[in-house]
Amino acid sequence: MPLSRIVTLIVGLIVILAMSLWLIDSLSRLYWQLSYSPLLGNLLLLLLVVLIGGLVAAFVYYVLVLQGGEKRSRQGRKRVTPAQIPAAKSDAASSTIQAVRQQVSQIQDEVARQALLSRSREIEVNLARGEIQVVVFGTGSAGKTSLVNAIMGRMVGQVNAPMGTTTAGETYCLRLKGLERKILITDTPGILEAGVAGTEREQLARELATAADLLLFVVDNDLRRSEYEPLRGLAEIGKRSLLILNKTDLYTDENKEVILARLRERVRGFIATNDVVAIAANPQSAQLETGELYEPEPDIVPLLRRMAAVLRAEGEDLVADNILLQSLRLGEEARKLIDAQRRRQADKIVERFQWIGAGVVSVTPLPVVDLLATAAVNAQMVVEIGRVYGCELNMERGRELALSLAKTIASLGIVKGAIQLVSTALQLNVATFVIGRAIQGVTAAYLTRIAGKSFIEYFRHDQDWGDGGMTEVVQRQFQMNRRDEFIKAFIQEAIAKVVKPLQDKIEAVEQDEEVH
């Protein structure tokens, strides 16, 4: 028991005892005066004992029970205060990070793999540390550094400097009363700056903005389209933003209200009206009549109030949502890298089979139907593409898929279209005497390519042809592979791999016949 409570208890009991003695003395006199009635005297004595006992019990109960309970309650409330990220979102972020690491193990590019692993570790650190990241974002010289200076209450960067002064993200720590988490405020390079260096700084600024829990987007006038688009884009990926109209000391009150109204109208739908605030982070000095120079204090109270309200009410969710968002974005980036890696591997398989089929068909001409079945759609090709995407198919299943696609290609008239396309292109590039023998081989390669590309789309989407079915996928691949720039490159490769070997063989046969 604390010493203060023991002292309080002793003093209280002494006071109660003194009062009891006084009360006993007073009532004893009354008791003798009522001695003619023993019953009434005994009742008075019993009442005195009950009264004193109740007073002592009430005092002890108050000191030991009620005050102790209140203190334990306060301590209990204090233990709940430390910030904790909502468990569901924290678990989701952790699960996503683990899934990303499993994906990363499949990436063959060592540089990309290590970069993703490093970023996943950064997200885990942020998840454990739980600081609130506030990023100041906007065009060059809109007053971002001045705003950071004013918020921090001390000079932390250059002000009144030309565009491009802040060349890297500079972060400062801030404590806000009533908020357990530390607030990290990051000043970013300006966007929309000219030159290669300006573009690189803008890229850094966008990366920092994407990682923010809360974004302070600073402008010094009405929004331009070049400012609106990045602000809207950041809102679309889930960034919580405050739009800050700075340098209001340069405007009359009437003009300031007009600009604020325009800003609120332009961002309606993705930034709330009360999240658009006006400030003067670094007001211009003025010379008084006495000749003295007057330096006005920064006027950022509206921003501080709004920022404090947002962070106190939404801080935990902002941190949790941002960590989950970063985890999901990292997972999506890993998925894209793996998809690109698989596509390269699958494209090599398609290219290999298209020229194998072309060589076979050009040497042994086939009817159109056999051409389609044997060259354009190859069961072994289907099996190998499936294996790249983690789908183990047997030859029977590969043959079923191949024949199904063959029927679709035939029903769409793609065989006839391919023959016509290849014939026209070959006539412009190859001597007439060899064209007839080359058309079927090159057409076989072309149809194999369309089939292979269609199967890549099928396996990329977890063995699903999509809403339009196989027909739509095949038609889309045919349209993509009939473009002039592709046909020119394809025919040149076909000439080297199909036509030229065929021409050499024909010439060799003719020479052999002349010898005999």
pLDDT digits (tens, 9 = 90+) for 214-247: 999 999 999 988 899 999 999 988 889 999 999 9
Mean pLDDT of all residues in 490-497: 84
Would you say 424 and 403 are in contact if contact means Cβ atoms under 8 Å apart?
no
125 vs 278: CA distance, rounded Å? 35
pLDDT for 366: 52
Q: Where are the alpha helices (DSSP H) in 250-366?
A: 253-266, 301-363
Residue 74 has pLDDT above 50, yes or no: no
* SS3 category, 187: strand
Mean pLDDT of all residues in 355-382: 65
Q: Torsion angle of alpha carbons 440, 442, 443, 447, nearest 10°?
A: 140
Mean pLDDT of all residues in 507-512: 62
204 vs 210: CA distance, rounded Å? 10
pLDDT for 296: 87
Residue 59 has pLDDT above 90, yes or no: no
Which DSSP category does 313 fall into? H
pLDDT for 376: 45
pLDDT band at 5 (very low <50, low <70, confident <90, very high): low
Residue listed under structure tokens 């009991």: 13
More confident residue, 418 or 255: 255
Residue 72 has pLDDT above 70, yes or no: no
Q: What is the DSSP string of 377-407?
A: S-HHHHHHHHHHTT----HHHHHHHHHHHHH
Amino acid type, 247: K
Mean pLDDT of all residues in 68-95: 53
pLDDT band at 76 (very low <50, low <70, confident <90, very high): very low
3-state secondary structure 207-256: HHHHCCCEEEEEECCCCCHHHHHHHHHHHHCCCEEEEEECCHHHCCHHHH
pLDDT digits (tens, 9 = 90+) for 431-455: 555 566 677 778 888 888 999 999 9
Q: Give kind and range of the element (H or E) at residue 65.
A: none
More confident residue, 422 or 37: 422
pLDDT band at 341 (very low <50, low <70, confident <90, very high): very high
More confident residue, 349 or 17: 349
pLDDT band at 271 (very low <50, low <70, confident <90, very high): very high
More confident residue, 20 or 475: 475
pLDDT digits (tens, 9 = 90+) for 159-207: 444 444 455 568 888 877 777 778 889 988 888 776 777 788 888 888 8
pLDDT for 81: 39
Q: What pTM, to 2 d.p., does this model score?
A: 0.60
Structure tokens at 176: 């806000």
pLDDT for 60: 60
- Greatest mean pLDDT among 179-193, 249-263, 431-445, 485-499 lies in 249-263
Structure tokens at 124: 């885990």
Helix (H) and strand (E) counts for the chain? 18, 8
Would you say 192 and 226 are in contact if contact means Cβ atoms under 8 Å apart?
yes
Would you say 83 and 130 are in contact if contact means Cβ atoms under 8 Å apart?
yes
Mean pLDDT of all residues in 480-485: 86
pLDDT digits (tens, 9 = 90+) for 127-164: 677 688 899 998 877 888 899 888 887 545 544 444 44
pLDDT band at 68 (very low <50, low <70, confident <90, very high): low
Which residues have a Cβ under 8 Å from the Cβ of 470 and sit 6 or more positions away? 404, 405, 408, 454, 458
Share of the chain above pLDDT 70, in %: 71
Amino acid type, 276: V
Residue listed under structure tokens 């009522």: 34
